[in-house]
Amino acid sequence: MWARTLPVALQLSAATAALPPLPILPPLPVPPSQIAGGEDFVGAPAVGNQLHHKVQFQPRASLMHGDAGNTGSTDSAGPLGQDPDVKSALQILGVMVWGPDGTLSGGRADISNILMPRIGLGAYDPATLEVLAEWFPDNPDEYLNLGYMELRLEDNSLLVSGASGRLYVVQRTDGSDGTSLELTREVDIAGSLSPGETLLNSLFDTEGNIWFTTGTLTSTPLGPQSSATIGYVEPDGTVHALHLPDQIIENGIALNGTTAYVVTGPLNGTTSTTGYVWAFTTDSPGGDGVRTVWKALYDAGTHQKPGGLTRGGGATPALLGGDYVTTTDNADGRIKLLILHQEPREDPDDQVLCAVPLFDEGASSNDVRPTVHFDGERYGVVIQNGYAVPPMLDHTQFLLDVNGAWNNMTGMPGGIVRVDVNPGEGCEVRWESDVRIKSVPALSTKTGVLYGYVQEEEFAADGTYVWYFIAVDWESGELLWKKRAGAGGSYNDNAWPGSVGGGRFYQSLMLGVVWIEDGSEKY
């Protein structure tokens, strides 16, 4: 799950920001749409608990979910909560990716022709979100899958797929004469897809191949689908594709080396419970296809859950080092966290190491990738409960009903849980917390804090929506502090991602971004 309504948001920002172009000025802050009540800061600053550096996957890359292993983590520092400042900008990035020297790239809207806003990529100043450079596809109607865009760190190449069936590689260059974004490669693979399919995922592997999958997400122009294609494009343009009937893809994919991990599920509108987790790799030299390393059956349930955004398993898979891959199923009643071996097992039934039931019967669902970290001995996996998350708004509704009931999260059972995986042994619940969260959190290994964004429950029942940044201790699950971000629907995260970089934690909003950084005493 990610910024599904981004294109509409871009159009909205075009409509609301109907100003003459002001290219150089820093963007204005996001206006609150209600009066903020409640405490400004609760708790105490974090001490800062440095964790092991995160496991690196190859090729090294920055994505919405941290890296191509989708760990949700970074070795950059987030704020400790010391005398923190909150800032915001009317600048819609949707997704943020971080370059080797702390450079920031993300989504971008061109609103110079207000009747025809275009979606592209942007390079930004992380301290102000001023635009340093931008790139747009030639076709103004192209829909870019920004949620699953990637920045390859070794050469600062941005990779993003479009609904038209194209893969775009855009080079970011930062020099003494400024920053530029230039298209260096465009591959049209529409002819290798089955009818009705649209591209969703694209990732570089270590051989320079670009892996892709088709797929769909609710509230995007990607329509309903009845099959899936997985494949890769070699550097010379040769396309290899594997077609899967009766399965669809509704999430991101994970990749390390030349192995891609993919979750597929049943077609929307069917009660089939058949879904699979797959590992694919490149075929041997001279071969002609995508090789299936293994596939494991999971329980996709009979229907989409209240608050759910996907028909099948909701979580983009995350890699636990070189040992396991994790995702969640969509079993009726109570969903399960699945931990699967990365290596193929002789008996396919052994592929799953653990299946841990999550949350309560009839009140569990998940659409957000697990956050994972290795402490040198065991892996920690954190999952949040997305049952009964209020629907993500489209922007017509947003404009008409900014402060309406769609903001009200008190009907969610909520909860986050950490499960530990002991290699060679098994899995156990480490801690549970009653935090209600629908946005995508991020872990800083530098501070040992899982950063998220929540609503004050006390006021929500009465229709006042006050939003807070939260800091959760990764080791104990304790809520260390919360800091008020803003009030009203204009500060609702709409289930969009958060991101840590340069000592800040940023939360994407419908109209822009809000972030928190420490004051005078920098970590």
Task: Provide, rounded to whole angstroms, the least separation between the CB of residue 384 and ligand NAG.
Answer: 19
**Which of 185/303 has CB closer to ligand NAG?**
303
**Which of 202/464 has CB closer to ligand NAG?**
464
The whole-angstrom separation of Cα 432 and Cα 396 is 37
The two structure tokens encoding residue 341: 């071996």
**Which of 31/411 has CB closer to ligand NAG?**
411
Q: Facing residues of 319 across strands?
A: 325
Residue 283, helix vs strand vs coil = coil
The whole-angstrom separation of Cα 80 and Cα 504 is 9
Three-state SS sequence of 152-179: ECCCCEEEEEECCCEEEEEEEEEECCEE
Type of residue at 132: L
**Which of 164/410 has CB closer to ligand NAG?**
410
The whole-angstrom separation of Cα 67 and Cα 500 is 13
Task: Provide, rounded to whole angstroms, the least separation between the CB of residue 514 and ligand NAG.
Answer: 23
**Which of 174/394 has CB closer to ligand NAG?**
394
| Residue from 309, 304, 356, 307 nearest 335 by CA | 356
**Which of 184/206 has CB closer to ligand NAG?**
206
| Residue from 20, 28, 1 nearest 511 by CA | 28
Give yes or no for a contact between 275 and 312, defined as CB atoms under 8 angstroms apart: yes
Those residues whose C-beta lies under 8 Å from the C-beta of residue 301, and which sit 6 or more positions away, are 273, 312, 329, 330, 331, 332, 335
Task: Provide, rounded to whole angstroms, the least separation between the CB of residue 462 and ligand NAG.
Answer: 6
Task: Provide, rounded to whole angstroms, the least separation between the CB of residue 224 and ligand NAG.
Answer: 6
Q: Where are the beta strands (DSSP E) in 136-273?
A: 150-152, 157-161, 166-175, 178-188, 199-204, 210-214, 227-233, 239-245, 254-256, 259-264
Task: Provide, rounded to whole angstroms, the least separation between the CB of residue 265 and ligand NAG.
Answer: 9
Task: Provide, rounded to whole angstroms, the least separation between the CB of residue 210 and ligand NAG.
Answer: 17
| Residue from 451, 519, 460 nearest 491 by CA | 460
**Which of 134/205 has CB closer to ligand NAG?**
205
Task: Provide, rounded to whole angstroms, the least separation between the CB of residue 196 and ligand NAG.
Answer: 13
Task: Provide, rounded to whole angstroms, the least separation between the CB of residue 330 and ligand NAG.
Answer: 11
Interface contacts to ligand NAG, rule CB under 6 A: 55, 57-58, 206, 218, 256-257, 268-269, 304, 310-311, 321-322, 405, 408, 410-411, 461-463
**Which of 333/463 has CB closer to ligand NAG?**
463
The whole-angstrom separation of Cα 242 and Cα 238 is 14
Task: Provide, rounded to whole angstroms, the least separation between the CB of residue 22 and ligand NAG.
Answer: 37
Which burial class, exposed, middle or buried, applies to 495 when counting CB atoms under 10 A from its CB (0-12, 13-18, 19+)? buried
**Which of 319/500 has CB closer to ligand NAG?**
319
